[in-house]
Structure 1
């Protein structure tokens, strides 16, 4: 029984790796909206704060900013739900390594963080944007241990910073100046 389970997870991991490898080439190849750093993301967010924003589809800009802030806060405080350990030790880290290597992330842009509260507060775009900027600043200043990512598992501070910026930039692909 234990051998069958190990074989099943091995096949699953290999299948996941193949799918991620194929998906690597489908990731956007164009330039990111800014450098892949928290400082560059904060400068970009400051510029966005001066313009009206609309979503081309899916979540509103307010929901996007609240969602990204949640993710950053959860990296410090802990995610409400985690994927199974086998996933966080195989498929999740592999996905992150593909995103990091490509310098771009692609994930469902209308999918909430598992177990997270609603992303409807704050309601005003400016307040949600300020919440996101505060979350980035809090993360940048954080010196303690970080919590495992719900899908990617254990990440260093630098890896988490990259993940947060890639995550934001992926969501910004559907937001435009109004």
Structure 2
């Protein structure tokens, strides 16, 4: 009886958190459409720009981090959150992000168990790494690894997650001194 009561409380708390999170997400327009091809076109435009960060990681680290995430969706993440999380709070968070069309997460938090984000250190090379990761993901038709927090995602769901993740990080970058839009 106590366990069922605790699970019920956790469910109510999770729904409250999700609802709050939903309304706190930004309403600003994304820098491009919420599709993999649009994100890839945006990255091509950014390759021609002078990029800098207004806070948090420098651009090379941002691109390396996003590339890690894309690659891990195919190859497997180094560490997963507990199964209970990947079956409850994680999918709930993703559904909020997907419904809102925007993601908000700590922009200086590495993927659990991932190596340092220092290599490649040059912005253009790190951006090219991300472009290759997106192209590899777009061409991949096999099974995808469980997301470390969201759990099992379809190819389309993962594509959206990767695009939302990238766009969230781009909020702290500037191209030629201007916000990326």
Fold agreement, TM-score > 0.5:
yes
1:113-161 Cα deviation digits (max 9, x unpaired):
0010101100100000000000000000001000000000000000000
CA distance in 1, matches of 2:59, 2:7: 38
Segments of structure 1 that go 5 or more residues without pairing to the other structure are none
Partner of 2:162: 164
**2:127 pairs with 93, 113, 129, which one?**
129
CA distance in 2, matches of 1:80, 1:11: 31
CA distance in 1, matches of 2:97, 2:141: 25
Deviation at 1:46, TM superposition (A): 0.5
The secondary structure found in structure 2 opposite 1:25 is helix
Give the direction of change, closer, same or farther, for the CA distance of 1:6–1:81 in structure 2 (3 Å limit). farther
TM-score by length of 2: 0.94
Aligned CA-pair RMSD: 1.1
Count of residue correspondences: 176
Partner of 1:70: 68
Give the direction of change, closer, same or farther, for the CA distance of 1:161–1:15 in structure 2 (3 Å limit). same
1:34-57 Cα deviation digits (max 9, x unpaired):
000110001100001101101010
Partner of 2:144: 146
Partner of 2:11: 13
**1:96 pairs with 94, 97, 100, which one?**
94
CA distance in 1, matches of 2:2, 2:67: 41
Determine if the alignment matches structure 1 residue 79 to structure 2 residue 105: no
CA distance in 2, matches of 1:145, 1:18: 33
1:52-71, aligned counterparts within 5 Å?
52-71=50-69
Segments of structure 2 that go 5 or more residues without pairing to the other structure are none
